[in-house]
Chains A and B, each alone.
Chain A
């Protein structure tokens, strides 16, 4: 089982709010891997809209994305695209 950790700078102008957050959670839910996101402090489950919104991730912050499971690599790849999208 693969465990991948990657630091990502959020360039999506809206941060992880609103629609990007919804898209992020929906995408994360597609994968079998456990996926976590860490800003400061504890890592939270990235498949929860409540968790993601509560983090309050603004554009320009760096987060740590962690995926653990057989499809971890694909998960990180797709989620990264959302976090780094222009809009």
Chain B
């Protein structure tokens, strides 16, 4: 019987194939009496299991460090400490000796005791350590049962992986060429599985809730990563449809990949720059592969999240420099820390904001904590020595903030010079335009910097006073609202009047439809999510700049988002003719 399961799209694409369900049920541990003579053998088994588990974790840790960086690898430090815990180990051995029981039982009893203690703790950090303990315990038990963990490393046939959740350790040990796709019960678009899937180009649907119950190993699955749907044992007809879609997808990918080599310019030769947004360094390979001419927004927040200290200058430098090296000779715009708002620090000494989006975040936080700010600036500056790094400050709301931030930047440069550290003396500096006050005073701000980048997500939400996360008002979030267009128009004009270039790194730039209007408004750079790079390029190459300019002027005279949207669709249909579907809406 065919079944359809609904989840959340985590990585685009279509996959068809047999699935493997990873069962992570608890081991059934039984109590067994052991004779006095056999006790040394039980203890030896325990020690072997500990040594092998330790080796397994160390190798996983190394693997993850290479793929995702030091911070993610640190997850395993806690695992290792649990494994090396003398009291725990001695406790198990004493139980084996005293109670004359098998090691599995003794170990399980000790672990249970600790889990109970931690579960009842007030401190959330400590409660969460239960997961580390459970993970370690499972690994040790599976050694004892001489059952390998259902390791993904040994997969021979190509399969779709179905799991309740995949730990970073699981996803890191994957041999990607054997994985057709991922389906998980839990997780959202920012979970580890989603990020890894996206950066490896493997289709994934997460948050399916009942996937592991509804599916058995060997079932045929279709993952529709566009719709966030999983079809279990599809009918022949459905399968044929999807095979057809898959073939088209491959054709389209090939076509888009071929676009990599052609310039991003309009029919009447207006050249714009198309760059990619990056959240994790792991995505850089894809961005360049898809034909982006650099990184228009390199976020640094991931390095600061989920830990209780701040990353050192050295750790940051290493990450930034290796990223800059990979992107070279293209530019990479590194945005300084943009924490606060929807993100947060887990440090206990920083109290939460009541209105995070209007509160202590981004540049405001950095100016108040020059120690953290300077550490990051030092790391970015040192990483600039190849000459392709630019710095961008987020959430600037007025000129004094830029002046203050520039002062700190100059101090930092001077300190580096005194220490004889190399950096790009001509490094460009830019700001995000995402607060209405910055847009309205962009004529003043333009005199202070080398470039602007419009962050539309925040600009829209601040200027329309809409919290996108609030379902009741989300309908008011309109990128085409005349107020938003007027602000963008003003910022572009002020940038060009002052001879600086202007880009956009918000979601708005990633839509082929909006891109036509933005082109017409005069945007110089589009920084988009990487799968959109070839698509935006295609749109740019299919239209005339002069027509886009005309339309932009007309759009600025319209009175509502719906009018502008209708006008935009009409002109694009007229301009692109039979290619409209293919360029603007296909595969969305």
Interface residues of A (CB under 8 A from B): 13-14, 17-19, 22, 25-26, 29, 44-45, 47-51, 53-54, 56, 87
Closest to B77 in A: A22
Check A18 against B88 for contact (C-beta < 8 Å). Answer: no
Q: Known contacts A14-B348, A50-B114; decide if A56 and B87 are in contact (CB<8 Å).
A: no
A53 touching B87, Cβ below 8 Å: no
For B86, give its contact among A14, A48, A56, A87 (CB under 8 Å).
A48
Which B residues are closer than 8 A to A by beta carbons? 77-78, 81-82, 84-88, 114, 117-118, 121-123, 125-126, 129, 308-309, 348-349
Number of A-B contacts (CB under 8 A): 49
- In the complex, what residues of B have CB within 8 A of residue A19's CB? 308-309
A48-B126 contact given A14-B348, A54-B117, A56-B121, CB 8 Å threshold? no
CA distance A22 to B77 in the complex (A): 8
- List 26 contacting pairs A-B, 8 Å CB cutoff, sorted by A: A17-B123, A17-B125, A17-B126, A17-B308, A18-B308, A19-B308, A19-B309, A25-B81, A26-B81, A29-B84, A47-B86, A48-B86, A48-B87, A48-B88, A49-B81, A49-B82, A50-B82, A50-B85, A50-B87, A50-B88, A53-B118, A53-B126, A53-B129, A54-B117, A56-B121, A56-B123
| Bound: A62/B84 CA distance, A | 27
| Chain A residues positioned under 8 Å from B118 (CB to CB) | 53-54
Give the CA-CA distance A54 to B118 in the complex, in Å: 7
Q: A48 and B85: CB pair below 8 A?
A: yes
- Residues in A with CB closer than 8 Å to B122 are 56
| B86 / chain A contacts, CB cutoff of 8 Å | 29, 45, 47-48
Asked if residues A47 and B87 are in contact (CB atoms below 8 Å), the reply is yes
The listed residue (A13, A26, A44) touching B349 by CB distance below 8 A is A13
User: Please, which residues of chain B bring their CB within 8 A of the CB of A50?
Assistant: 82, 85, 87-88, 114
Residues of B within 8 A of A49 (CB): 78, 81-82, 85
Which interface residue of A13, A14, A45, A50 has the most chain B CB atoms within 10 A?
A50
- The complex places the Cα of A48 from the Cα of B88 at a distance, in Å, of 7
Chain B min CB distance to A35 (Å): 11
Q: Give A21's nearest chain B residue, CB to CB.
A: B81
Report chain B residues within 8 Å CB of A22: 77-78, 81
Nearest CB to that of B74 among chain A residues? A19
Chain A nearest Cβ from B114, distance in angstroms? 5
Least Cβ–Cβ distance between A68 and chain B, in angstroms: 16
Measured between alpha carbons, how far is A40 from B423 in the docked complex, in Å?
A: 54
Cβ of B555 to closest chain A Cβ, rounded Å? 53
Shortest CB-to-CB span from A8 to chain B, Å, is 20
- Bound form: Cα–Cα A18–B123 in Å: 11
User: Which residues of B sit under 8 angstroms from A44, Cβ to Cβ?
Assistant: 87
Query: 6 more A-B contacts (CB under 8 A) besides A14-B348, A48-B88?
Result: A17-B126, A44-B87, A48-B86, A50-B82, A56-B122, A87-B309
Q: How far is the CB of A61 from chain B (nearest CB, A)?
A: 13
What distance in Å separates the Cβ of A49 from its nearest Cβ neighbour in chain B?
4
Interfacial chain A residues near B308, Cβ < 8 Å: 14, 17-19
Q: B78: which A residues are within 8 A, CB to CB?
A: 22, 49
Please measure, in the bound complex, the distance between the C-alpha atom of A48 and the C-alpha atom of B82, giving whole angstroms. 8
Which one of B84, B87, B121, B125 lies within 8 Å of A51 (CB-CB)? B87
A51 to B82, CA, bound (A): 11
Nearest CB of chain A from residue B310's CB, rounded to whole Å: 9
Complex Cα gap A17–B129 (Å)? 11
What is the chain B residue whose CB lies nearest that of A54? B117
Distance in Å: Cβ of A64 to nearest Cβ of chain B:
18
Contacts of A13 in B (CB 8 A): 348-349
Query: B349: nearest residue on chain A (CB-CB)?
Result: A13
What separation, in Å, do the CA atoms of A29 and B86 have in the docked complex? 9
CB-CB nearest in chain A for B309: A19
In the complex, how many angstroms separate the beta carbon of A20 from the nearest chain B beta carbon? 9
Partner of B126, one of A26, A29, A45, A56: A56
Q: Which chain A residues lie closer than 8 Å to B82 at the CB level?
A: 49-50
**CA of A51 to CA of B308, assembled, Å:** 20
Nearest B residue to A51, CB-CB: B87
Chain A proximity of B127: nearest CB distance (Å): 11
Name the residue on B nearest A17 (C-beta). B125
A47 closest partner in B (C-beta): B86
Q: Tell me, rounded to whole Å, the shortest Cβ–Cβ distance linking A15 to chain B.
A: 9
